[in-house]
Amino acid sequence: MPLPPPPAQAPHHPPRLARPHPVPRLSTPATALPGPGGVEEFWADVRRRGTPLVGPDPQGGADHRTVTFLWRGTPATRAVQVVPNKLGDPRDPEGNLMERAPGTDVWHWTLRLRHDWRGSYDLYVDEGDGPDPGTPERWQWQRTRRRQDPFNSRSLPHRWDGGPVPYAELPAAPDAGDWLPRPGVEQGTVTRHEVGHRRVWLYRPPVPARELPVLVLLDGEHWQPRLGLSNLLDNLIADGRIPPVTAVLPEAVDEATRWAELSCRPEYVAFLTDELLPWAAGQLPVTEDPARTVIAGQSLGGLTAAYAVVSAPHRFGNALVQSGSFWWPVGPEAEWLTRVIAETPRRPVRFRLSFGEQEWVALPAARRLRDTLAAAGYHDSSYREFNGGHDYLCWRTELADGLVALLGR
C-alpha cells in the first residue's frame, strides 16, 4: 500500500511550547562560595576539580546530585547565562541567569539532577558591550556571545560549526568508552566519496565478509569526521557484539537542505534506495536483506529513518531513531507520520526509539507514536527514555546500544 503524499510545506521549527516544569534550580551551590578575600584560592580549587562542580544531594538522596556551573567574570560582566541542553526554556531566559557572589568575580548557577544525567551546555556572557538589560533585543543578542568553559576539558564538536561544546556527566550516566580508539583493536577504513553531488563516507570493516549488514547513518559529515563513528564500529566488531558491518554516511549538506530533504520526502528515500545503496553495493559485498539493513538518524534524521522503513520496507527493515521529530509538521497536519502508521497495514520492520526525558517539546509526540506502534502490532519494536536532552552526547551511546540490539548476534 503506497503512502499518502507528505505535506508540501511546513514551518522550519518545532512547536513553540513552554517548558511544563521549571528547571530544578537550587539556591545553595555544590561548594562553599568565597568571600572577597578567598577568590584566588577558590578558583585554584575549581581549576583542579574542573567544572561543573558536583556535590551530594542536599535532600540526602543517593540517586541525585547537586551540580554547580561557574563563570569567572570581569569588572565589566553584566550577566552570564548557562544553558544545559534542554534544561533551559527560551521563553524564560532569566531562569538560566547566573548569580554573582557579592564582592567577588564568581558567577554561579546550581541544579539538583538525577545521578544518571548527562548533557552538553552553552555559556553566554554579557561583558557590557551590547543592548541594555531589559530591552527586547537583549536576549537575542546575548545568545550570540557564546564562550568556552575554561575549567572544563571535556567537549564535543558543535553540530554545524564544529567548535567545542562543553559537557558534563554524573556518575550513573551511560559509559561512552566504546567511542574511544582502543590499543590492539583492528581498525576498519573510512573513505570519502561523492554520490549524487553530495559527500558520503563509507566504512569498510577490518574483517572481510561475504555479505555485510548495512548501516545507513544520516548526518554523516558530523558522525564520522567529527565524532569518529569508525572507532565505535571497530570496538563493537572486535568485541563480537555486532558482526562485521559496513556503514554508509551521506551528508546533510546544510540546514536548509536538511529541512528540505529530511522531512518525509519520497524523493530522498528514493535517493537512498535507488542510488546510494546500489552505489555501496558496487564498493563492497553488502546485503540486500532488509532485516540486516539499518537506517539511523536523530531529530529530523530520526523522523526520516522511521519514514524510510514505512515507505521502503523492501530495503530498510530497521529504524534506529534518537529524538525523532515526530511532531512534524507544525500546523494542521501535525504528527503526520504517526497518523500514516496508524492507517497503514503493518510493515515487516522494527523500530528502536529513544528520547531524552528533558525534551519537553518532542516527548508528547514520541509517546503517542510509541502507543500507535503498539496498537498497530509492532510488538518487536522498543522505546526508551534517557536522562538527557536533544544531544549528541546522549545519542552516541543510544546509537551503540541500538546497533547491538538490531544487529547483534
pLDDT tens digits, 86-125: 998 888 889 999 999 999 999 999 999 999 999 999 999 9
Gap between the terminal Cα atoms of the chain = 32
Top-confidence residue, 134 or 69: 69
* Contact present, 112 and 66 (Cβ < 8 Å): yes
C-alpha grid cell for residue 79? 550577566
> Measured between alpha carbons, how far is 315 from 56 in angstroms, rounded to an integer?
50
136 Cβ neighbours under 8 A, 6+ residues apart: none
CA 320 – CA 398 distance, rounded (Å): 9
What pLDDT score does 89 carry?
86
371 Cβ contact partners less than 8 Å away, ≥ 6 residues apart: none
Is 224:232 a contact under the CB 8 Å cutoff? no
Where do we find the cell 561583558?
A: 127
List, in order, residues 6 or more apart from 267 with CB less than 8 Å away. 261
346 — phi, psi (to 5°)?
Answer: -60, 135
Burial 23-44 (b: 16+ CB within 10 A, else e): beeeeebbbebbeeeebeebbe
Cα 231 from Cα 185, distance rounded (Å)? 9
Three-state secondary-structure class, residue 313: coil
Tens digits of per-residue pLDDT, 320-370?
999 999 999 998 899 999 999 999 999 999 999 999 999 999 999 999 999
Indicate the pTM of the whole model: 0.96
Give the per-residue pLDDT at 86.
96
- Write the CB contacts of 246 (distance below 8 Å, at least 6 apart in sequence): 202, 203, 204, 205, 212, 213, 214, 215, 280, 284, 286
**pLDDT digits over 266-291, tens only?**
999 999 999 999 999 999 999 999 99
Q: What dihedral do alpha carbons 55, 58, 59, 65 form, nearest 10°?
A: -20
